[in-house]
């Protein structure tokens, strides 16, 4: 993917960004709707994924770790925090709010509704939200605040960000200056890694949803 200019006009320093999705929860396992209104913990598999990621990347000198306000992101990086690495919770990194569908198993009717909404997003109607929830534009708006805060920390050269699947897709569109209709271009899995380089002007992706660490890969 070609990097594009970010709109921020400040003179900023380069960064290496390790962006991960949280580990598996029972909601993920059971295919239930899990947005910002569901504060579910990791399940056993999720903790195993978090441990595998830590073993692979514990020698990276992270200056800071950023997480959402939901416990599944904290639990996914807890081993790094135990090393004394500073961290910050940002609500702007929270998952999209799925409104009335949160915490619910997807019935056939719900699944059809979900497909209708996501198809509308793909057609460019990114101001459309799930009933009672957020639209992709809503999420992007709060992410811009979080992103500005993160990239203006000039003493942080290597950072780890742990967040959520749909929110990651929206953030990656913002970083690469893609229209939100293309957010599903970016795959994600539990504890999958995007390695991103920021030049101070542009973001570029080095690794896309890398999962080698889940199969015993170490740096």
CA 175/CA 136 separation, integer angstroms:
15
Domain of residue 82, CATH code: 3.40.50.1240
pLDDT for 89-110, tens place per residue?
Answer: 999 999 999 988 788 777 788 7
pLDDT for 46-105, tens place per residue?
Answer: 999 999 999 999 999 999 999 999 999 999 999 999 999 999 999 999 999 998 878 877
| Domain limits for position 55 | 4-215
Residues 6 or more apart whose CB falls under 8 angstroms from that of 91 comprise 68, 69, 142, 146
Helix (H, G, I), strand (E, B) or coil at 56: helix
Q: Which residue out of 22, 164, 188, 213 is catalytically annotated?
A: 22
CA 196/CA 142 separation, integer angstroms:
20
pTM score, whole prediction:
0.92
Other beta carbons within 10 angstroms of residue 54's beta carbon come to 17
**Residues in the chain, total:** 219
Structural domain total, the chain: 1
Q: What residues of the chain score a pLDDT lower than 50?
A: 1-8
Residues 6 or more apart whose CB falls under 8 angstroms from that of 130 comprise 96, 97, 98, 99, 100, 101, 114, 117
Distances (CA, A) of 215 to 24, 80, 191: 16, 20, 12
Q: Which residue out of 95, 134, 156, 174 is catalytically annotated?
A: 95
Active site residue 134: no
Active site residue 95: yes
Per-residue pLDDT at 159: 98
């Amino acid at each position: 993917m070609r990097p594009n200019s970010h709109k921020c006009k400040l003179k900023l320093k380069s960064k290496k960004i390790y962006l991960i999705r949280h580990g598996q929860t029972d909601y993920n396992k059971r295919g239930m709707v899990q947005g910002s209104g569901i504060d579910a913990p990791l399940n056993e598999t999720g903790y195993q994924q978090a441990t595998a990621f830590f073993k692979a990347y514990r020698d990276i000198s992270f200056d800071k770790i950023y997480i959402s306000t939901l416990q599944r992101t904290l639990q996914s990086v807890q081993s790094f925090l135990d090393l004394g690495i500073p961290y910050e919770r940002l609500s702007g990194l929270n998952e999209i709010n799925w409104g009335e569908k949160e915490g619910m198993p997807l019935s056939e009717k719900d699944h059809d509704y979900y497909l209708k909404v996501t198809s509308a997003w793909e057609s460019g109607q990114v101001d459309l939200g799930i009933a009672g929830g957020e639209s992709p534009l809503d999420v992007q708006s709060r992410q811009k605040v979080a992103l500005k805060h993160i990239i203006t920390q000039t003493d942080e050269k290597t950072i780890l960000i742990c967040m959520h699947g749909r929110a990651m897709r929206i953030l990656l569109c913002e970083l690469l200056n893609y229209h939100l209709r293309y957010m599903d271009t970016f795959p994600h899995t539990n504890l999958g890694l995007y390695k991103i380089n920021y030049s101070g002007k542009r973001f570029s992706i080095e690794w896309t949803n890398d999962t080698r660490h889940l199969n015993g890969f170490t740096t």
